[in-house]
Structure 1
């Protein structure tokens, strides 16, 4: 009986440097009885050479051969039209396919007989699925990088420094949203020596924030429990306005603000208005981790664009931060895929069981 063959493709989205598999993952998949193909140059953006994959036991091939031989095609983000068109009936595509934002892609693949497994849809509350949780692994990278980006863009020190020239006060950092990315941003800013405050609509997040040494803001505003999949529920328009009003004063006096609030498949909530940006002091930095083509947490922010406003406030639309740390992000993502493939491949066969609570959820992006 032939082994299942999985193949990692080269990402083609502008600015995307990550790769679905790293050489370490090739070794682990071989031990699980899975054969691995890698598209020529797939790992170059993350500093993995074709020879690294060959040494680990993979076969490096051109795209045409890859799609001909692969049972399972692995990607990071949604494939472009050319890549999607190369897939054939019976193959399985696994990646962060964004089915809530790009339903037409998944529906087209379904009509052509291509199975889709989207890691965006993983039930994050299932303990046995944690090792497969790519959204969490990539959010950790994004939160860490957001704090470093803020520190690099801030023209003063993050920690308090006492020198012969006098004492420099620490930066006052405010993190809005205490999910995975927010907590990592808090932890990193604290390691850099900043005084950190944070806010989240979920009261349960207070303990997590305080455990990292940050202060949880007590503001009069909306409160809510977690929504589906471990995310905060989406606030109504009235609740969002009340939240912004309650936070405005804290934002205006902060040196650095990092926003991390997202709603899967929907426009991120607006947390920082243009009016508040005008009230911030010159030299302040705002990093919008929620910036996307759907909008962001900060009014006027744009993904992958830095703006310096007339009052000297820097607004950074951090659209694709994990790609800025492609080696670490790819390694974490590849480990998620290895865990998933070990779950899906049984006795040498790929088993896509819709009755399984993990597999069924991941296949939920396609029409029933």
Structure 2
């Protein structure tokens, strides 16, 4: 049996690459595994040799100590891999297939899965609807920043690439299908972006940049990306976005300089619960800042897509309310302007096949937009540290050296 190494959470600010058990077609006890899931048989699953697995901003929330993630949790929910073993009940996949793994774990059988709401599957997490690999309070499914990983409900979850050689040639783009490309696109779709729209995207991290690419695919006339990190703003400009530096003050004034009016048709929150203030307050955490500013600058009747992560337990929150996920929102502004809001996990399977074809036919160069940067598994701790410092890069872990080869 092959060995298996993985990136594990050690404590606030620290991850390590450690030996972990080779995956089985069964959910076994381990850090973060819900007791009700221990011993769960997965003959419907597949074991994958990981081709690529990415570091995500959602991982960083845990690594910063901003969640209740347990020590030893195997990280990683953005996975692309080659099938090396199939469970008895898998019918439509074969050993050797290269597939994208949606970060949502979904059974395909419950009422939510049957209507495409795979981000809130009812059967994979005993605590609440929805689950993901390598994430706190998500049922304990082992993460994929590893050499090998088990994927349950393989026939339903896995997106097989049509041609192996073509997939490996475009792997840096295709690896984004597991999460950030569909998630950013979902933010744009749920905000109501359509041909000719003006859209404001808060946050120029990988999800924000993916939302910008998504808005461009949807035909937006102007895509404005906001951040306070100069290198991330430069990255947004590199593929045709306008930018706003929120450290310089009120976004509305800068939007007016770009569009001639201080508002946009729709907006996307790609920041989440660790948001910081604008202008003179830019250095201080203010978790409601982004949502309140989006309500101010979105035109009446517009929409706000919220793919940015919000949590119910934030031990590092700025006050008692924030530690429970309660924010001081100006909901009256949203009500008065008849704004719509869309929150929650992106249902990746709703979008990933179409986005795959956009990549394969050179309609979307998402790797270039997010500055995909390949590192080895052993370099993952350094990658986490560099990403946390604000580097304008999307780190892609290559556990087996397949990309460099």
| Structure with greater proportional strand content | 2
Whether the TM-score (by the shorter chain) exceeds 0.5 is: no
Superposition TM-score, scaled by structure 2 size: 0.41
| Structure with greater proportional helix content | 1
Superposition TM-score, scaled by structure 1 size: 0.45
